[in-house]
């Protein structure tokens, strides 16, 4: 009783300045609302957020679009000359769309092809690996909380750190070769091998982001009522059939979210891969974002207009994927309502 | 066949024992109801039977075969879950078919069984709906249907009616009873509602804190509860339990005395009792009437009279502060605060010793 009254007194003391401040604010806000009406108030509170969004997202988007219609190496828009759709035409100028060497901007098409391959391989691998991890972590294993943290940990790392860690492991005098050498196996120069460097970018990005998707799937798995599994057990259902007929269909909403989010992020692959392989060897791990970065900023003959055009195309791909995701989200909501 | 024997079943979670030495014989075709307060281990016992959970010690036999280590699927039992546990992404038809597909039953036979069960349970009209599109009562039927199509050796039902509203509960109760009459399959039914137990059971198993307190036919439990717990648990409204002192004790009869001038001779074997020790006299509210003209009587003060028309429920307090409930025939004009005299017959009383056990019948 006594402790309670003391703590409530402390609470009152702490709350006093807040209440005082709220009263102070109340007056001008009341006056403001009288002037603008409730709708105006909403606009007032939204304004800071809208300003930030406008300045840092919307405006750059518009400027980027404007850049994609200009040519030259000049940095400021006022110094650049308007060329209309020429940059887009240049990107699309191909003898045969399936053969990048026939294209004027062959690197763009190589990057596009690499990215497409990366997206397909990485997303399927991510989905399967995250799924298996989630299924294992959902069991009654010892130290479950610890393992969950372990698998989530890489998500917290900066992509550059991830890239560096794996470069130390995979480079010529790296950890992996050291281990291989010591157990008597043939070391290999992983990151200058066309095939292995691609595999490395896929594997490392899966490793780095898997925890996030595992978490989404784990949440979905835990939302499946236990007694459904018990009913299936009473029904004499074999483990494989339980997975395909019960777990997977009930996990589908989460799985779709995972696939689409992974798709969107895979299309944007840059940091880990850039730090790990720098796009090499040759162009074998050159992905779209790196192409844009190099054309726009890093190459000697930089061409901001072309880079802007390429990023608009990439943006369109992402918009399509995002729309799919929003559509799925809405469908899930409806399904949720039906339950 | 569906004859089940439980021998010395124990179940512990870590150091906590939730079932202690359960012994129970269930005959083929019997409707057995497990009843008891929340947390007494009813569901745990049912899950041990089903095979979803395994006992720490003891033996389970079905039709004479030891199934203690046999998996749930191979015991040939079907379970109806409290939450129904229907597969939400499958139609009612698929829900019913799922278990049969698992054992590779021919499609034609599956269809036949579903049609049959659907007709019996009147769910034919929504075979193609999803569980989410059904009412609680309909889901309940589907859950029972899923068990019925399996043609099990016994049904296990864990509080199947607890999610239904009062009216639906009564009608579904009658349907389950009819279903049992028709299928003649062993049913083991868990509930904490003693009215459900009384109306459905061939035999009731009263449990408390992981132990079986008494097993018997519903009216046997009502008429001769073996101990204070069963006396208080079976029967509504609850039996009045009056603290009394043993005045005389013999092998044929025991005389007890209590507050309000209570003194009565009860036919029981009291040879193990010492005069002056404590005991408890149980009288059901329906066995009390007003007046002094019974084998025994006592006085009390009325707290509240509830006139229901055909009967009057009297709430009263004895001199020593004991609350009494009496259901009096007809209408009574006694007012709150008035003194009242209650009478009852020795044959309708229940005498329990200091340990709460019913005294044995008089020696012959
Ligand atoms: N997995 C578990 N781990 C630890 N204790 C458990 C577990 N399952 C049940 N118990 C305990 O076992 C006891 C019996 O539980 P049970 O579910 O069988 O009760 P019940 O009689 O079915 O109760 P209710 O009427 O509330 O359903 C309870 O005290 C419960 O806390
Ligand atoms: Mg229970």
B250 located within any domain: yes
B95 located within any domain: yes
Q: Decide if pLDDT at B46 tops 90.
A: yes
CA B107 remoteness from chain centre: 40
A69 located within any domain: no
Chain B residues within 8 angstroms (CB to CB) of chain A: 50-52, 71-74, 77-79, 81, 83, 85-89, 98-99, 102-103, 130, 132-133, 146, 150
Cβ-Cβ contacts under 8 Å, B74 against chain A: 236
Query: What confidence category does residue A333 fall into, taking pLDDT thresholds of 50, 70 and 90?
Result: low
Are residues A164 and A296 both part of a single domain?
yes
Are residues A57 and A88 both part of a single domain?
no
Are residues A283 and A153 both part of a single domain?
yes
Are residues A43 and A88 both part of a single domain?
no
B165 vs A232, higher pLDDT:
A232
Are residues A18 and A161 both part of a single domain?
no
Nearest-by-Cβ selection for A234 from B72, B87, B130: B72
Domain end among B232, B260, B275? B232
Determine which of A11-15, A243-247, B340-344 has the lowest per-residue pLDDT on average: A11-15
Are residues B89 and B175 both part of a single domain?
yes
B363 located within any domain: no
Are residues A308 and A166 both part of a single domain?
yes
User: What's the whole-number mean pLDDT along residues B299-306?
Assistant: 91
B41 vs A45, higher pLDDT:
B41
Q: Is the CB of A231 less than 8 angstroms away from the CB of B87? A: yes
Complete edge-to-edge strand list for the sheet that includes strand B57-62: B16-26, B4-13, B57-62, B65-66
Determine which of A61-75, A80-94, A250-264 has the lowest per-residue pLDDT on average: A80-94
Are residues B248 and B209 both part of a single domain?
no
B281 located within any domain: yes
Q: Which domain holds residue B338?
A: 237-352
Are residues A99 and A174 both part of a single domain?
yes
A143 vs B33, higher pLDDT:
B33
Comparing alpha-carbon positions, the chain B residue that sits nearest to A240 is B102
Q: Is the pTM of this model over 0.80?
A: no
State how far the alpha carbon of B251 is from the alpha carbons of B229, B236, B254, B270, B358, in Å. Answer: 25, 32, 8, 5, 14
Report chain B's terminal Cα–Cα distance, integer Å. Answer: 41
Task: Decide whether any atom of ligand 1 lies within 6 Å of the B43 Cβ.
Answer: yes
Helices A159-170 and A175-182, packing angle to 10 deg = 30
Are residues B251 and B212 both part of a single domain?
no
Average pLDDT, chain B: 90
| ipTM rounded to 2 decimals | 0.82
Q: Is the CB of B78 less than 8 angstroms away from the CB of A250? A: no
Are residues B108 and B202 both part of a single domain?
yes
- A107-161 confidence digits (pLDDT tens): 888 888 899 899 999 999 999 999 999 998 888 778 878 888 888 888 888 888 8
Q: Decide if pLDDT at B350 tops 90.
A: yes
A67 located within any domain: no
Residue-wise DSSP of B6-25:
EEEEEEEETTEEEEEEEEEE
pLDDT for A36 equals 78
Cβ-Cβ contacts under 8 Å, A246 against chain B: 87
Q: How many Å apart are CA B44 and CA B312, to the nearest integer?
A: 41
B359 located within any domain: no
Cβ-Cβ contacts under 8 Å, B87 against chain A: 228, 231, 245-246
Are residues A36 and A167 both part of a single domain?
no
Are residues B190 and B105 both part of a single domain?
yes
Q: How many domains, chain A? A: 2
DSSP secondary structure letter of residue B133: G
Question: CA gyration radius for chain B?
Answer: 25
Domain end among B203, B232, B261? B232
Are residues A209 and A257 both part of a single domain?
yes
Total count of residues recorded for chain B:
364
Q: How many domains, chain B? A: 2
Question: CA gyration radius for chain A?
Answer: 27
Are residues A48 and A162 both part of a single domain?
no
Atom of ligand 1 nearest to the CA of B14: 4
Q: Decide if pLDDT at A315 tops 50.
A: yes
B364 located within any domain: no
pLDDT for A4 equals 57
The residue whose CA is least distant from atom 26 of ligand 1 is B38
pLDDT for A1 equals 45
Are residues B122 and B247 both part of a single domain?
no
List the CATH number of the domain containing B66: 3.40.50.300
Determine which of A334-338, B88-92, B248-252, B292-296 has the lowest per-residue pLDDT on average: A334-338
Mutation choice for A interface testing from B80, B102, B129, B162 by most A CBs within 10 A: B102
Question: Which residues contact residue A157 at a Cβ distance below 8 angstroms, ignoring those fewer than 6 apart?
Answer: A165, A208
Determine which of A175-184, A316-325, B221-230 has the lowest per-residue pLDDT on average: A175-184
pLDDT for A183 equals 83
- Among residues B297, B267, B242, B277, the alpha carbon closest in space to that of B353 is found at B277
Are residues B273 and B146 both part of a single domain?
no
Domain end among B196, B211, B232? B232
Q: Which domain holds residue A150?
A: 82-338
DSSP secondary structure letter of residue B316: E
pLDDT for B285 equals 94
Cβ-Cβ contacts under 8 Å, A236 against chain B: 72-74, 99, 102-103
Q: Decide if pLDDT at A177 tops 80.
A: no
User: What's the whole-number mean pLDDT along residues B291-320?
Assistant: 89
Query: What confidence category does residue A38 fall into, taking pLDDT thresholds of 50, 70 and 90?
Result: confident
B286 located within any domain: yes
Distance from CA of B135 to the nearest CA of A (A): 12
Residue-wise DSSP of B318-353:
-TT--EEEEEEES-----TT-EEEEEE-GGGEEEE-
The rounded Å distance from CA B38 to ligand 2 centre is 7
- B324-348 confidence digits (pLDDT tens): 999 998 888 888 888 899 999 988 9
List the CATH number of the domain containing B314: 2.40.50.140
Are residues B212 and B286 both part of a single domain?
no
Q: Is the CB of A237 less than 8 angstroms away from the CB of B99? A: yes
A300 located within any domain: yes
Are residues A332 and A200 both part of a single domain?
yes
pLDDT for A339 equals 45
- Among residues A33, A55, A54, A58, the alpha carbon closest in space to that of A44 is found at A33
Are residues B167 and B271 both part of a single domain?
no
Q: Is the CB of B72 less than 8 angstroms away from the CB of A233? A: yes
List the CATH number of the domain containing A300: 1.10.3720.10
Are residues A46 and A138 both part of a single domain?
no
User: What's the whole-number mean pLDDT along residues A221-244?
Assistant: 90
Q: Is the CB of B79 less than 8 angstroms away from the CB of A231? A: yes
In this structure, are residues B169 and B137 in contact, taking their beta carbons and an 8 Å threshold?
Answer: no
Are residues B331 and B278 both part of a single domain?
yes
- B141-194 confidence digits (pLDDT tens): 899 999 999 889 999 999 988 888 888 888 889 989 999 999 899 999 999 888
Are residues B55 and B69 both part of a single domain?
yes
Distance from CA of B80 to the nearest CA of A (A): 8
The rounded Å distance from CA B209 to ligand 2 centre is 13
Average pLDDT, chain A: 84
User: What's the whole-number mean pLDDT along residues B82-93?
Assistant: 91
Are residues B32 and B169 both part of a single domain?
yes
B358 located within any domain: no
Task: Decide whether any atom of ligand 1 lies within 6 Å of the B15 Cβ.
Answer: no
């Amino acid at each position: 009783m006594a402790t309670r009254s003391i703590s409530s007194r402390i609470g009152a003391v702490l709350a006093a300045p807040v209440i005082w401040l709220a009263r102070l604010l109340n007056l001008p806000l009341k006056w403001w609302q009288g002037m603008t009406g409730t709708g105006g108030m909403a606009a007032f509170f939204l304004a800071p957020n809208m300003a930030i969004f406008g300045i840092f997202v919307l405006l750059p988007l518009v400027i980027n679009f404007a850049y994609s219609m200009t040519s030259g190496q000049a940095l400021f828009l006022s110094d650049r000359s308007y060329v209309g759709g020429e940059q887009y035409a240049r990107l699309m100028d191909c003898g045969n769309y399936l053969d990048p060497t026939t294209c004027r901007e062959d690197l763009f098409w190589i990057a596009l092809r690499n990215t497409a391959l990366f997206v397909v391989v990485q997303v399927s691998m991510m989905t399967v690996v995250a799924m298996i991890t989630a299924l294992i972590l959902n069991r009654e294993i010892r130290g479950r909380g610890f393992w969950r943290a372990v698998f989530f940990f890489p998500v917290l790392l900066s992509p550059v750190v991830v890239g560096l860690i794996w470069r130390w492991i995979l480079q010529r005098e790296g950890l992996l070769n050291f281990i291989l050498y010591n157990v008597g196996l043939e070391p290999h120069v992983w990151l200058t091998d066309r095939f292995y460097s691609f595999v490395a970018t896929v594997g490392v990005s899966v490793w780095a982001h898997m925890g996030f998707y595992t978490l989404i799937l784990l949440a979905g798995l835990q939302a499946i009522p236990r007694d459904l599994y018990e009913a299936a057990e009473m029904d004499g259902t074999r483990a494989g059939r339980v997975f395909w007929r019960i777990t997977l269909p009930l996990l589908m909403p989460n799985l779709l979210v995972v696939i689409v989010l992974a798709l969107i992020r895979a299309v944007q692959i840059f940091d880990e891969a850039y730090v790990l392989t720098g796009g090499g060897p040759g162009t074998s791990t050159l992905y779209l974002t790196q192409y844009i970065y190099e054309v726009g900023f890093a190459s000697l003959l930089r061409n901001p207009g072309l880079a802007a055009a390429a990023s608009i195309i990439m943006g369109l791909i992402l918009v399509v994927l995002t729309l799919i995701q929003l559509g799925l989200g809405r469908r899930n909501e409806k399904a949720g309502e039906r339950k | 066949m569906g004859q089940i024997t439980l021998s010395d079943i124990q179940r512990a979670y870590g150091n906590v024992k939730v079932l202690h030495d359960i012994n129970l014989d269930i005959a083929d075709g019997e409707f057995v109801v497990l009843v008891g307060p929340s947390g007494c281990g009813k569901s745990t016992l049912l899950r041990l039977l089903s095979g979803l959970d395994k006992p720490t010690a003891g033996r389970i036999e079905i039709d004479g075969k030891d199934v203690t280590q046999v998996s749930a699927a191979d015991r040939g039992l079907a379970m109806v879950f409290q939450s129904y546990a229907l597969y939400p992404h499958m139609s009612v038809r698929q829900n019913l078919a799922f278990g049969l597909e698992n054992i590779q039953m021919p499609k034609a036979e599956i269809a036949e069984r579903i049609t049959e069960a659907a007709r019996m349970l009147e769910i034919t009209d929504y075979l193609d709906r999803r569980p989410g599109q059904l009412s609680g009562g309909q889901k309940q039927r589907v859950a029972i249907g899923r068990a019925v199509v399996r043609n099990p050796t016994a049904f296990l039902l864990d509080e199947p009616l607890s999610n239904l509203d009062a009216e639906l509960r009564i009608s579904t109760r009658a349907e389950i009873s009819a279903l049992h009459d028709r299928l003649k399959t062993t049913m083991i039914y868990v509930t904490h509602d003693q009215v459900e137990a009384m109306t459905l059971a061939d035999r009731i198993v009263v449990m408390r804190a992981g132990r079986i307190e008494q097993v018997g036919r519903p009216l046997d439990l009502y008429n001769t509860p073996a101990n204070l717990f069963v006396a208080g648990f079976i029967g509504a409204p609850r039996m009045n339990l009056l603290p009394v002192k043993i005045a005389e004790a013999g092998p044929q009869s025991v005389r007890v005395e209590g507050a309000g001038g209570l003194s009565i001779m009860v036919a029981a074997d009291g040879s193990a009792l010492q005069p002056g020790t404590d005991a408890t006299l149980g009288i059901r509210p329906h066995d009390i009437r007003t007046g002094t003209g019974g084998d025994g009587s006592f006085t009390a003060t009325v707290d509240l009279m509830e006139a229901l028309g055909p009967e009057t429920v009297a709430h009263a307090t004895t001199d020593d502060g004991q609350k009494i409930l009496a259901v009096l025939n007809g209408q009574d004009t006694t007012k709150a605060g008035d003194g009242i005299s209650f009478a009852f017959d020795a044959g309708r009383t229940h005498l329990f010793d200091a340990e709460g056990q019913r005294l044995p019948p008089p020696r012959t």
